[in-house]
Chain A
Amino acid sequence: SQELEQSPQSLIVQEGKNLTINCTSSKTLYGLYWYKQKYGEGLIFLMMLQKGGEEKSHEKITAKLDEKKQQSSLHITASQPSHAGIYLCGADPDQAGTALIFGKGTTLSVSS
């Protein structure tokens, strides 16, 4: 079965600094999703990547999928306290569009 491993597990950065979160899959990715979660709340969709080498940006967040489609990174530029939360990557394991599997998440704290 496919597994997603996220690193780091947690991260504390000073406001204004850049950071990167990684998501590595045990199998080829056919769709990679990034979500953000505030503690005790639901998940908010950030971005979805499908093609090898694809890169998408929204405000100060950029996500990339490598050419081999087994690793994705989420990069935040000039972090702000509003970026704090849990970031989860998700994937469709069998291309059947049944249900997403998720990594264990990366908890981001931003100190001002």
Chain B
Amino acid sequence: DGGITQSPKYLFRKEGQNVTLSCEQNLNHDAMYWYRQDPGQGLRLIYYSQIVNDFQKGDIAEGYSVSREKKESFPLTVTSAQKNPTAFYLCASSIIGQGVPEAFFGQGTRLTVV
């Protein structure tokens, strides 16, 4: 079945450590996105990529980094520079070049800094 997979579902990190969240899709979508969700804040865009080896910052990119070496994969690294990393992280993908895209979402990763 086609879909978008995030792993792990739960992640714990000590302060000062970097951590990488995985996002893989087999939908053959060109575009991939990372969002952060905090209670009462809705979804805020961290990074997005429309093509391999290219990505753009979203509204809250500081303290995060991404790579897009393969079309299927768009990992997100939460660095120690991110002041409040505890949040729910959602990855999404979509087709581009067909007008307004419908985004398909993964099940999310809940990151907790301890």
Contacts and interface: CB of A to CB of B under 8 A. Distances in A.
A40 B100 contact: no
- Interface size on B, as a range, is 20 to 34
A100 B103 CA distance: 8
Interface residues of A, number: 26
Nearest to B34: A99
B-side interface mostly: strand
B36 to A, nearest CB: 11
A98 B44 CA distance: 14
Given A30-B100, A48-B100, A101 B45 contact: yes
A41 B102 contact: no
B50 A98 contact: yes
Interface in B1-20: 6
A99 B100 CA distance: 9
20 contacts: A41-B107, A42-B105, A42-B107, A43-B92, A44-B105, A45-B102, A88-B43, A95-B100, A97-B94, A97-B96, A97-B98, A97-B100, A98-B56, A99-B33, A99-B48, A100-B33, A101-B45, A102-B43, A102-B44, A105-B40
